[in-house]
């Protein structure tokens, strides 16, 4: 879901909507963003759109070469490695040393795992990928830090740029959704350190697998 405050400037609203489309897999890595089309879609001026695209470039989601169109960025191996350094620090510290978790948070995490299971059953891998990323956003939300939440929201959108699409999506997505269900089950049982251990292995395996796609 796109988070937009009621009185936010139009360029931030448009940037948020484009970012959400990347997160949800509707706009893919390497895709060209055509100004004339986006102006019609978002009903904004050219200057407003350009402010939005500039913000997304600053956030590492878009790139533009001189005299060429703006494109959704392709991450480098170094950038992917950096993302996983941050993920280990932020996600694992959300679970390590815990004695309890809020019941409403655990419910939201469970809702996401059920949504992921439903996506597997429907073979809706685009929804599965987005649900998986939001599962990890919920883990970070345990910190109760709006700064972490904002930072991690951008990070998972960048990570979405590496995900596989097309015929190989099932093999790419299904194992991670199943492992997230296992992590949720451990948390529901109060086995927080074991859940953190599983998450640590998950992150190591995910990084290794995504590096093969670079």
Write down the domain spans for the chain.
10-72, 77-211
Which of 87, 83, 86, 115 has its CA nearest to residue 180?
A: 115
3-state DSSP assignment of residue 148: helix
Q: How far apart are CA 156 and CA 113, in angstroms?
A: 17
3-state DSSP assignment of residue 26: coil
Structure confidence at residue 52 (pLDDT)? 95
**Contact call for residues 157 and 183 (beta carbons, < 8 A):** no
Which of 52, 36, 166, 150 has its CA nearest to residue 61?
A: 52
**Contact call for residues 173 and 125 (beta carbons, < 8 A):** yes
pLDDT tens sequence across 146-161: 999 999 999 999 988 8
Residue 71 DSSP class: E
The top-level CATH class assigned to 10-72 is mainly alpha
Q: Categorize the per-residue pLDDT at 164 as very low, low, confident or very high, splitting at 50, 70 and 90.
A: low
Q: Categorize the per-residue pLDDT at 44 as very low, low, confident or very high, splitting at 50, 70 and 90.
A: very high
Q: How far apart are CA 29 and CA 22, in angstroms?
A: 8
Structure confidence at residue 6 (pLDDT)? 59
Residues 166-191 have a mean pLDDT of 85
CATH match of 77-211 with 3.30.1360.120: no
Q: Look at strands 32-33 and 70-72 and give their pairing.
A: antiparallel
Q: Categorize the per-residue pLDDT at 213 as very low, low, confident or very high, splitting at 50, 70 and 90.
A: confident
- Please report which helix (H) or strand (E) contains residue 63, including its range: strand 62-64
| Angle, CA of 90, 94 and 100, to the nearest 5° | 180
Q: Categorize the per-residue pLDDT at 1 as very low, low, confident or very high, splitting at 50, 70 and 90.
A: very low
Q: At what angle do helices 192-211 and 77-95 cross, to 10 degrees?
A: 170
pLDDT at 60 over 70: yes
Measured in whole angstroms, how far is the alpha carbon of residue 58 from the centre of its chain? 17
Q: How far apart are CA 187 and CA 182, in angstroms?
A: 9
Which residues fall within 8 angstroms of residue 16, CB to CB, at 6 or more apart? 2, 3, 4, 8
Residues 134-149 have a mean pLDDT of 97
Q: Is the dihedral of CA 162, 168, 169, 174 positive or negative?
A: negative
């Amino acid at each position: 879901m796109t988070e937009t405050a009621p009185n936010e400037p139009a360029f931030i609203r448009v940037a948020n909507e484009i970012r959400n489309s990347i997160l949800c897999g509707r706009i893919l890595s390497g895709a060209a963003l055509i100004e004339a089309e986006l102006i019609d879609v978002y009903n904004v001026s050219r200057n407003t759109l350009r402010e939005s695209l500039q913000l997304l470039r600053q956030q590492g989601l878009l790139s533009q070469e001189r005299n060429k169109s703006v494109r959704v960025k392709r991450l480098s191996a170094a950038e992917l490695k950096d993302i996983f350094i941050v993920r280990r620090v932020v996600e694992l510290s959300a679970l390590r040393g815990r004695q309890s978790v809020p019941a409403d948070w655990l419910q939201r995490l469970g809702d996401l795992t059920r949504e992921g299971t439903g996506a597997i059953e429907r073979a809706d891998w685009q929804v599965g990928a987005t649900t998986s990323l939001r599962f990890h956003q919920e883990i970070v939300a345990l910190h109760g830090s709006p700064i972490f939440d904002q930072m991690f929201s951008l990070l998972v959108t960048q990570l979405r740029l590496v995900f596989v699409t097309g015929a190989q999506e099932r093999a790419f997505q299904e194992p991670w959704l199943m492992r997230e269900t296992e992590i949720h089950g451990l948390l529901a049982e109060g086995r927080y350190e074991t859940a953190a251990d599983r998450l640590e292995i998950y992150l190591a395996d995910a990084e290794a697998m995504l590096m093969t796609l670079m």
